[in-house]
Amino acid sequence: MTLSAPDTSTSVHSGEGLDAPVTADVLVAGAGAAGLSAALALAKAGFSVVCVGYTDRRANGRTVALFETSLRFYKSLGLWERFRGKTAPLQRISMIDATGARFKAPSVAFAAAEIGFSAFGENIENNVLVDGLVAAVNETPGIRLVEALLSDIRFEHDAVIAVTDAGQRIEAKLVAAADGRGSLSRAKAGIGARSWTYPQTALTALLSHARPHRNISTEFHTRSGPCTLVPLRPLPDAPHRSSLVWLMSAEDADRRRALDPEALAREVEIQVDHLLGAMAIDGPSGFFPMAGMSVDRLYAHRVALIGEAAHVFPPLAAQGLNLSLRDSAALVEALEDAREQGKDIGERQTLKAYANARKGDISLRTNGVDILNRSLLSDFIPVDVARGAGMFAFLMIGPLRRALMREGILTHGSLPRLMQPRPRRRSLTSGAGAQH
């Protein structure tokens, strides 16, 4: 089967243009930040792309802390200029034990300057990020954005055949599945997943406050999980702003969901020990039950899992989207290498190379976040002692602290080309679908 690229980049709403099938090299399932980012990276690498999903640009109090490798990813794609002036740098991270443990862990501060960076990364509102990515998709040749949901996917020997809920037929060589924890793509490919829940709900909100955050992200470790304040860009009427991610019990979440914004702001102030002075809730907030998920494998015939179709864990240490962008960068690299060697981009050997590049990083982050979260929930004294000893070691041993910081923002393994300090500009074959 010969697949041709769309003539131009377009957005197609459900129900439009259903007469002829849409064809492309890659079908990206999911149009959240992870799916849109993957679609842009693939298109800029010379692959034709159809991205299917509804874009959610509502403000819900959620933000994304993009670490150094993620900034490199967006800069190498020529996208970061869209977001300049819309982010706040994270120059320091402070961790404070507020568990009330008998053996209290010492407070620890991590400074990006210690490892030669001006900041660990940049924090941006999720809806602002998605808005910019959608605009970039609509301006990028070789991408078609179909605002719909996939209702069926069939994996054939040499192609993927998908159908949207509006009846639109899509044909591709490969599915990049970024369709979340309930991924239809993963289920249709027969890839197993193991899910679990935590006795926690996350409250997310944007805050304005009286005192400056000084570009410091502060984590209060409580018995129900972290309560984290992350710097946000100033606005004309709110010069001091932060985002909040507060993990709490489901019972506390139910009670706080019923509070008016002023009462909720007072509870936040008390929880963070009035660190930033008087606070106000700035816009809508959200409550999200906490869960985790891991998969049996990252690929099958003509499908590669990325983002939350491949891994889910609580929002600790800001690893979520950063991990997803490393998935996308590694997938692009595997497909580029296959194209250069004249191989089918959907064959198992191509996708096995992607999985081998990603499995260690994903396993480390998923297990690490799970252990950290469960250690906070436990009031078992030996666990408190071990956690306190670890924090003391980070406080006192400079090389260990710096190693942890580098691992947090750079990872221990080799980085994909798109995330190298000076990514090599790869020449693209003219037109898409040149690997066929």
For residue 91, give the nearest of 108, 111, 70 by alpha carbon: 111
Task: Give the residue with greater pLDDT, 364 vs 412.
Answer: 364
Q: What pTM did the predictor assign? A: 0.87
Q: 200 vs 43, 109, 172, 197, 216, CA distance in Å?
A: 39, 26, 40, 8, 25
Q: At residue 9, does pLDDT exceed 50?
A: no
User: What is the pLDDT at residue 6?
Assistant: 42
Amino acid 240: pLDDT = 98
Residues 135, 78: Cα–Cα separation, whole Å: 13
User: Among the listed ranges 3-12, 115-124, 300-309, 410-419, which one has the minimum average pLDDT value?
Assistant: 3-12
Give the HSE-up count for residue 332: Cα atoms under 13 Å, Cβ half-sphere.
Answer: 30
Where residue 356 falls (left for φ over 0; alpha for ψ -120 to 50; beta otherwise) is alpha
pLDDT digits (tens, 9 = 90+) for 392-404: 565 566 676 677 6
Task: Report pLDDT digits (tens) over 140-174.
Answer: 999 999 999 999 999 999 999 999 999 999 999 99
Domains of the chain (ranges plus CATH)? 10-58+126-195+292-374 (3.50.50.60), 63-125+198-290 (3.30.9.10)
Region 31-37: mean pLDDT is 97
pLDDT (0 to 100) of residue 402: 73
> CA dist 352 to 91, 153, 186, 422, Å?
37, 21, 16, 26
Mean pLDDT of 80-89: 95
Question: How far is CA 197 from each of CA 84, 200, 220, 336, 375, rounded to the nearest angstrom?
Answer: 37, 8, 22, 37, 15
Residue, of 88 and 400, whose pLDDT is higher: 88
3-state secondary structure 33-88: HHHHHHHHHHHHCCCCEEEECCCCCCCCCCEEEEEHHHHHHHHHCCCHHHHCCCCE
Query: What is the pLDDT confidence band of residue 57, given thresholds at 50, 70 and 90?
Result: confident
pLDDT confidence band for 379 (50 / 70 / 90): low
Average pLDDT, the chain: 87
267-294 residue pLDDT tens: 999 999 999 999 999 988 999 999 999 9
d(CA 285, CA 265): 11
Grade residue 369 by pLDDT with cuts at 50, 70 and 90: confident
Residue range 102-117: average pLDDT? 83
Spatial contact of 367 and 311, defined as CB atoms under 8 Å apart: no
Q: pLDDT over 70 for what percent of the chain?
A: 84
Pairing verdict, β 108-111 and 143-147: unpaired
Which tokens hold the place of 275? 């660190």
Q: Is the dihedral of CA 311, 317, 322, 323 positive or negative?
A: negative
